[in-house]
Amino acid sequence: MKLAVMQPYLFPYIGYFQLMYAADLFLIYDDVNYIKRGFVNRNNVLSANGVTRFTVPVPGASQNKLFCELEFSDDVDKALKTISHCYAKAPYFDDVFPLVQETLEFGIDSGDRSIAAVCQKGFESIFAYLGIEKEFKKTSELDYDREAGPRDRLIALSHKFDADCYINAPGGRKLYDARDFAEQGLELKFIESLPVEYPQSEAEFTPNLSIIDVLMNCSADEVKRLLQRYQLA
């Protein structure tokens, strides 16, 4: 069983979705410190004027707080207007925009606007739209050794679910050694995205935008093919 663990991001780029696609179980790492000034609550889309950013505020955001201690603001109108303006004429707008809106507004009525809950809603909705079954869990809801170091936490989480392979993003090459995982009965793999290109509204292709751009411009079958453009090393 392949396990992957990553902090929650709102409509991240396709490489993040490839990591989820490659794993049998994906853990949303929401009991670690929040990443400020990153792409947790924002991302880039493409308008007629070029790359445009949408943002959903996180009140009280601080790197001294855990993801699970923070919530998205209910103020999503500006983000929705930005996305609608950018993709109103996109070929799959009518299919995808309701999914985006439902995600961004998730929890406004129920009161659960936690970062992980909203992001998980987005992940689940997108994979359901693609017809792909995926299992997600939040690490804040699990019982494991949170006092361990970063590597040992990942090993503990892998053992908890009887995983035999842990998949990490490429940046982890500087942090983790396959021999340390092998000593614990785990194979360590790093996901590497292969070149991804698809039709966009502009003539010159702009890579690594929010998954929203991929979904708006590609059919579900085309998106599934792009998700397979990776290798495990």
DSSP characters for 178-230?
HHHHHTTT-EEEEEEEPP-----SSSS---S-BHHHHHHHS-HHHHHHHHT-E
Q: Average pLDDT of the chain?
A: 97
Extended beta strands in 48-149, E state = 50-55, 135-138
7: Cα separation from own chain's centroid = 8
77-87 and 93-104 helices, crossing angle to 10°: 170
pLDDT band, very low/low/confident/very high, at 154 (cuts 50, 70, 90): very high
What does the pLDDT read at residue 47?
95
What does the pLDDT read at residue 161?
98
Does the structure show a pLDDT above 80 at 13? Answer: yes
Does the structure show a pLDDT above 80 at 203? Answer: no
Q: How many helices (H) and strands (E) does the chain have?
A: 8, 8
pTM above 0.75, yes or no: yes
Does the structure show a pLDDT above 80 at 114? Answer: yes
Q: How many domains does the chain have?
A: 1
How far apart are alpha carbons 126 and 55 in whole angstroms? 19
Does the structure show a pLDDT above 90 at 162? Answer: yes
What does the pLDDT read at residue 177?
95
Average pLDDT over residues 131-135: 97
How far apart are alpha carbons 74 and 61 in whole angstroms? 15
pLDDT band, very low/low/confident/very high, at 73 (cuts 50, 70, 90): very high
Distances (CA, A) of 182 to 27, 96, 153, 178: 21, 42, 15, 6
Query: CA nearest 122: which of 53, 172, 56, 64?
Result: 56
Range of the domain at 38: 2-232
